[in-house]
Amino acid sequence: MSPTYDVIVLGLGGMGSAAAHHLAARGARVLGLEKFGPAHNRGSSHGGSRITRQSYFEDPAYVPLLLRAYELYERLERDTGCEVATLCGGVMVGRPDSRTVAGSLLSARRWDLPHEMLDAREVRRRFPTLTPAEDEVALYEARAGLVRPENTVAAHLRLADRDGAELRFEEPVTRWEALPGGGVRVRTARNTYSAGQLVICPGAWAPRLLTDLGVPFTIERQVMYWFQPSGGTHAFAPERHPIYIWEDARAVQIYGFPAIDGPDGGAKVAFFRKGTVCTPETIERTVHDREVAAMAGQVADRLPDLPGRFLTAATCMYSNTPDEHFVIARHPAHPGSVTVACGFSGHGFKFVPVVGEILADLALTGETPHPIELFDPGRPRLRPGFTAAPA
């Protein structure tokens, strides 16, 4: 008997919703299964904003994917009329030899991306909300900005639904298996489904759903904070205030956004990394006063007007790999029928639409023209006991 679906997508968060859209748009019969509701706030794709940028300090190999992601975000906005991206400009701030500055400059030069280098005085002149120290500089990128996670997920789900995908919410997968003769079987409390292909986009549930992948994930609790600037939000509006990633002398990075949600919404700021290890079941959702005080203290020297009044905070999870690069591939143990996208290590959202495109390529053809070598689950840096050679 032939399976009912061409492809089952497990998890309809950031990556899974994009995969469901790209698969359905190519005419595949798609079933999407999601543990919670549409665009929910229990995983990694909520909180109103995510930074996007092209001069990528993590590795220049990401740049071609970013260029494609930018095109696809534009197309998504056109096709749905939903606001998904705001390119308000961005600064990567730190000492010239910091990873944030030097790494961004390396990518900008390698890919000939438009950018400007600003000294501390120039940063203060152009962006009066920011007060870098004399020994700090910034790479300014006009095409950096923010993307909207909930709107992006909702827009992808809407297009998938329009193109005939069957999307089932509040229906967690309890078990999946690749069948010896080809195809997959997926169970939930309600039903058992079969399909030719399975695409697994599990976010922070990767350790549980991908036990035989051999990748040592670390799930981290991260906190996002919203403050009402002391002079109000005018100076922090997206026309005046850029997104920023700011690395201090101890290599601690904070990042933040303009005030995008009106006069009462405040501006969001957070630590990049520096989270505590958790699981989706054990994550502490309460944010404590001492955490708010620590964040306000970090911000006070650099954006003195920002920590005027604390508004609110929310938790979210990172799914880290040891080298902080993604995992996107055919599952090595089931290469004929299972594709995985996981380990986005706190920097995946800006790639969501292009990851959807790659997953559709892999599930339907077994290959992709996009460069994804860096995301191979078999890479040496993911093997237990691997230690990087001294630089």
198 vs 224, beta carbon nearer ligand FAD:
224
CA pair distance 334, 336, nearest whole angstrom:
6
Nearest CB to ligand FAD, comparing residues 39 and 123: 39
What are residue 198's DSSP bridge partners? Answer: 8, 338
Give yes or no for a contact between 70 and 205, defined as CB atoms under 8 angstroms apart.
no
Was 314 annotated as part of a binding site?
Answer: no
Counting contacts by CB under 6 A, is residue 15 touching ligand FAD?
yes
Q: Give me the residue label for tokens 């109000």.
A: 232
- Beta strands 50-52; 85-86: pairing state: unpaired
Asked if 73 touches ligand FAD (CB under 6 A), the answer is no
**25 labelled as ligand-binding?**
yes
Ordered alpha helix ranges (H), 197-259: 206-209
107 binds ligand FAD (CB under 6 A): no
The residue among 135 and 284 lying less far from ligand FAD, judged by its C-beta, is: 284
Which residue lies nearest ligand FAD, judged by its C-beta? 13
Q: Helix, strand or coil for residue 161?
A: helix
In the numeric block, the tokens 């405040």 are attached to 266
Considering the complex, state which of residue 124 and residue 143 has its C-beta at the smaller distance from ligand FAD. Answer: 143
Is 202 a binding residue for ligand FAD by CB under 6 A? The answer is yes
Find the shortest distance in angstroms from Cβ 220 to ligand FAD: 8
Q: Which runs of E-coded beta strand occur in the chain?
A: 5-10, 30-33, 50-52, 85-86, 90-94, 116-119, 137-141, 145-147, 166-168, 173-178, 184-188, 192-200, 218-228, 243-247, 253-256, 267-272, 276-277, 309-320, 327-330, 338-342
Q: DSSP letters along 79-112, please?
A: HH----EE---EEEEE-TTSIIIIIHHHHHHHTT
Instruction: Note whether 35 binds ligand FAD by CB under 6 A.
Output: yes
Least Cα distance to 258 among 66, 86, 63 occurs for 86
Q: Which range, of 90-98, 125-133, 293-301, 312-320, touches ligand FAD by CB under 6 A?
A: 312-320
Nearer to ligand FAD, 135 or 170 (CB): 170
Q: How far is the CB of 390 from ligand FAD (least distance, A)?
A: 30
Among 258, 346, 356, 377, the residue binding ligand FAD under the rule CB under 6 A is 346
Contact flag: residue 353 with ligand FAD (CB under 6 A): no
Judged by CB under 6 A, the residue of 227, 271, 318, 375 near ligand FAD is 318
The candidate with the shortest Cα–Cα distance to 10, out of 342, 327, 361, is 342
- The nearer residue to ligand FAD, 51 or 184, going by C-beta atoms, is 51
**Residue 56 binding ligand FAD, by CB under 6 A:** no
28 known member of a binding site: yes
Task: Confirm or deny that 11 is annotated as ligand binding.
Answer: yes
* Interface with ligand FAD: number of residues (CB under 6 A): 36
What DSSP string runs through 177-197?
Answer: EE-TTSSEEEEESS-EEEEEE
Q: Is 92 annotated as a binding residue?
A: no
CA-to-CA separations, 319 to 15, 206, 328, in angstroms, rounded: 13, 8, 13
Is residue 26 annotated as involved in ligand binding?
Answer: yes
219 near ligand FAD, judged by CB under 6 A? no
Candidate residues 316, 340, 362, 382; the one interacting with ligand FAD per rule CB under 6 A: 316
Under rule CB under 6 A, residue 34 binds ligand FAD: yes
Separation of alpha carbons 368 and 17, rounded Å: 19
Our finding on whether 205 is near ligand FAD (CB under 6 A) is yes
Q: Give, as ranges, the residues between 144 and 183 that touch ligand FAD (CB under 6 A).
A: 172-173
Closest CA to 311 of 229, 216, 250, 204: 229
CB nearer ligand FAD, residue 6 or residue 150? 150
- Select 22 or 347, whichever has its Cβ closest to ligand FAD: 347
**CA-based nearest residue to 186, from 355, 390, 5:** 5
To ligand FAD, the closest distance from the beta carbon of 16 in angstroms equals: 6
Residue 207 engages ligand FAD in binding (rule: CB under 6 A):
no
What residues line the site for ligand FAD (CB under 6 A)? 10-16, 33-36, 43-45, 47, 50-51, 172-173, 201-203, 205, 209, 222, 224, 270, 316-318, 344, 346-350
Known binding positions for FAD: 6-36
